[in-house]
Structure 1
């Protein structure tokens, strides 16, 4: 495995800075997951190091992220805090991601439509904020979004103003920390330090408490029949969300560094990192956009920076954990609220009213499903609806192309042959890939546009690169209707891919004549019409040539 040392100074600076930024986030996300702050650090170390070492995005920093924490927190509540099963889900998620990488799934994950991505990212941001509101008010709300919302009136009625003030102060510092000072001490770390120091002078402020130090222990997978499907489902959700989150961050890194990541290799690296994280008692992680941006802006360009970031966190675990014991929950909650606000897609929300209403409605639907149902349902429904809308849009374009066909051709030779046909020849020219979206309307529109007295129908596929089974069945219906009406059906311009589908579905008995060009088909049609002075056209069926 090759290492690029040409940017060593920048990679060291970027990695150390990213590690400092990641420290409070790892602690906060570990607490939010329910597993604990040390699990957050272990996850950040394992995923951060091995995703950088084996991944396909050199400048990316990986670790616990908001989307993963939402799933882990829900799983923690469902399993009544059984951490061994949670670590098993993390291990399985990592294995699934490695499998995704070898199967080449990465190229498909990037095809998720933007309104769906925007909806579930905004939903995740909203969930993170909802889960932290109770802690800001000085309480520990029950797990889950609905539980946190239902507990909120009680928390508001019994506010701990010290924790509220501490959390709000942390949030303000994180947002307003001067950019000049941010070059030396990042805003999130400054908020963590200042908030913790102030809390030492306060009473009745819940803190993290003792954080175990030292090297982690091994956690082998544990399987219980009663919870098997729950753990497997959570593992799949973690794998998919982690893959999406990582590859979106990879795109951000590409834009900043003018490079191109390897999506499938990135999934393998993320999978190895998550597998190791589960084995050492860490929570799942993914490519982290904010930490990646910090790394790149601080000079990090190669995988060395991501590995250095992980080693910084390891140093904390090995010797500096007593300092983290006094960090208040309210301070971490303030930092997490900022994380949630940063995840919300404000950029699209501000501009959504200028774009297509359907896309905005889809984004809101995915947002609602993410917050009130679950993430996998939200993404699944969003992708299906977006795909159906796209197919419908393409189908409408194909049908519009078909409606313009009966007009006389601009080609002089074609125009002359159509005139010789005396209105007894209809030509239908299809355009673009013919799919199931247009299949339902093809036969209907052909029947509508057949001229009275026509004797020959010509289907021109010269502009059709591909056809699916649904479209082939629609063409078969057109063929049956044509023959039932006593007319002849000619096909021209079909490439080999289209012929193969038509032959497979229709057994080669589809058309009365098949040619390479429309000119040939028109010449044949005119010849048949001229030879049949009585108007009774007959002709032997000529199968398509394979």
Structure 2
């Protein structure tokens, strides 16, 4: 693996700064996952190092993220805290991401519509905030969003005021920390240190307690048992969600560095990182937008910066783990609320009402499904609905583009023929690839727009590059209807692919005659009107 040392100074500065920023987030996300703060640190080290080494986005910083932790927290609750199965899911997710990269899936993940991405990201932000409300009030957080909401009235009736004030103070400090000081001491780390010192000397609040230090133990994957379905399902969600999260962050990095990332290589790097994370007892991770931005702004430009960030966290684990045991839960809850608020897509929410109403409804639906059902249902439903809406939109445009008026024609001769015989010749022009969405109403629209006295029906395929099965069957329906009403059906301007598709599926062309272009079909139609006996109805043959 070739490393770039030309930007070494900036990479060291960026990597160290990103590592400092990542420390409180890794601790907090590890706690939120249910696996403990050390799992968050191990995950940040493994994903951060190997995704940087093998990935396709040079300055990207990877590690635990809110979306991934939401999935892991749900899995932790479903498996009653069985860590071996959870780490198996993380390793499987990594293997799937490597497979995605080799199969070239990276280019397709970008096709998820923005309202779907906005909806599930905002939903994830809401879940993180909901799960941290009880810790802010001085209680353990119940597993699951619904359980947390149901427990909230109980928590409100028994507020631990010192805990709440500490958490809100942490949140306020993260938001109000001066930018001039943030260059030297990032806001989350400053709030973590201040909150921990305040609690240690003056407050009696719940703290993390003993945290393991030193090198991690290996956790080999465990297969079999009744819980494997949950493990595999979680692995698929983690793989898809982590891939999406990482590639979105890659786009942010591209915009800042004016570079271009390699999507499939990035998925391979993320997969290797997550595989190692599960192997050493770390939580799953992905490209982290905030940490990547911090790295780039601090001078990081190559993959060395991400590796340095991971080594900084490793040094912390080996030397400062005992100090982290005094960190209060309320402080981490305050930091996580900030993470949740940052994930919510406020920029889109503020202007969504000015955009298409359907996109707003789709975003809201995905958000609600994310919060109250699960992520895979939310994303799957959002993508399917968005695809159906797009097919419907394309179909409406294709049907609206059906033209049979002489004013539309460029040829003076064609226009003159239609003006003279407009009540006897019906010409329809199709544009673009006829889709199955338009095919359902194609026959109906042709029939409704055809004059009752029309004797010849011409379908012009000059602007149609391809037909699917639904469109071919629709043409057959038009042909059947034309014969039933004793009309001639001419096909014109077909490309070789359209000609072959119609002929193969129909066992012959479903028309009376076929012409190379519209003009030839119109002249033949005039001859038929002048002497119908010369044009018997029958199976189409080339003109």
TM over 0.5: yes
2:179 maps to 179
* Cα 1:129/1:214, change in 2 over 3 Å: same
Deviation at residue 371 of structure 1 after TM alignment: 0.5
Q: CA offsets, 1:260-281, max 9 Å, x none?
A: 1111111111111111111111
Q: Does 1:380 align with 2:373?
A: no
Per-residue deviation, 1:408: 5.7
Give CA deviations for 1:45-97 in whole Å, capped at 9, x if unaligned: 11111111111111111110000000000000000000000000001111111
8 Å CA contact 2:435–2:470 kept in 1: the answer is yes
Alignment of structure 1 residues 83-482 onto 2, 5 Å: 83-402=83-402, 405=405, 409-419=409-419, 421=421, 423-482=423-482
Displacement after TM superposition at 1:531 (Å): 3.2
CA distance in 1, matches of 2:478, 2:500: 18
**Alpha-carbon distance in structure 2 between the residues aligned to 1:477 and 1:174:** 66
Shift of 1:405: 4.7
* Counterpart in the other structure of 1:542: 540
Structure 1 contact 88–231 (Cα < 8 Å) conserved: yes
Q: Could you report, residue by residue, the CA deviation over 1:241-278 in whole angstroms, capped at 9, with x for unpaired residues? A: 10111111111111111111111111111111111111
The structure-2 alpha-carbon separation of the partners of 1:470 and 1:544, relative to structure 1 and needing over 3 Å to count, comes to farther
1-structure distance, mates of 2:483, 2:9: 77
1:355-394 CA-partner distances (Å, limit 9, x unpaired): 1111111111111111011111111111111111111111
Query: Aligned residue for 1:501?
Result: 501
Contact 1:503–1:544 (8 Å) recurs in 2:
no
1:149-175 per-position Cα deviation (integer Å, ceiling 9, x unaligned) = 111111111111111111111111111
Q: What displacement does 1:516 show?
A: 2.5
Comparing 240-249 with 451-460, which one deviates more in the overlay? 451-460
Alignment partners' CA distance in 1, 2:422 and 2:73: 74
User: Is the 1:420–1:526 Cα contact (8 Å) retained in structure 2?
Assistant: no
Which deviates the most, 110-119 or 485-494?
485-494
CA contact (8 A) 2:403 2:427 kept: no
Conserved? CA contact 2:459–2:491, under 8 Å: yes
Structure 2: distance between partners of 1:107 and 1:64: 23
Separation in structure 2 between the aligned mates of residue 201 and residue 295 of structure 1, nearest angstrom: 34
Partner of 2:70: 70
Task: Determine the C-alpha separation between the residues in 1 that align with 2:243 and 2:404.
Answer: 44
* 8 Å CA contact retained: 1:51, 1:269: yes
What's the Cα RMSD here?
1.6
Mean CA deviation greater in 74-83 or 523-532: 523-532
Q: Which residue in the other structure is 1:60 paired with?
A: 60
Q: Scaled by the length of structure 1, what TM-score is found?
A: 0.96
Offset of 1:506 from its aligned partner? 1.4
Deviation at 1:544, TM superposition (A): 7.0
CA displacement at 1:204 relative to structure 2: 2.6
Residues of 2 paired with 1:438 and 1:522: CA distance? 25
Q: Which moved more, 1:201-210 or 1:79-88?
A: 201-210
State the distance in 2 between where 1:201 and 1:158 align. 24
Distance 1:184 1:405, change over 3 A: farther
| Structure 1: runs of 5+ lacking an equivalent | none
Q: In the superposition, relative to structure 1, how do residues 405 and 396 fare at CA in structure 2: closer, same or farther (>3 Å)? A: farther
Contiguous gaps of at least 5 residues in structure 2: none
Contact 1:508 1:543 in 2 (8 A): no
Give the distance between the partners of 2:497 and 2:312, measured in 1 at CA: 56
Deviation at 1:530, TM superposition (A): 2.7
For 1:258 and 1:128, locate their aligned partners in 2 and report how far apart those are by CA, in whole Å.
32
How far apart are 1:416 and its partner, in Å?
Answer: 2.9
Q: TM-score, normalised by structure 2?
A: 0.97
Aligned length: 543
Three-state SS of the structure 2 residue aligned to 1:97 is helix
Change (3 A) 1:422 1:172: closer
Give structure 1 regions of 4+ aligned residues with deviation exceeding 4 angstroms: 403-408, 419-422
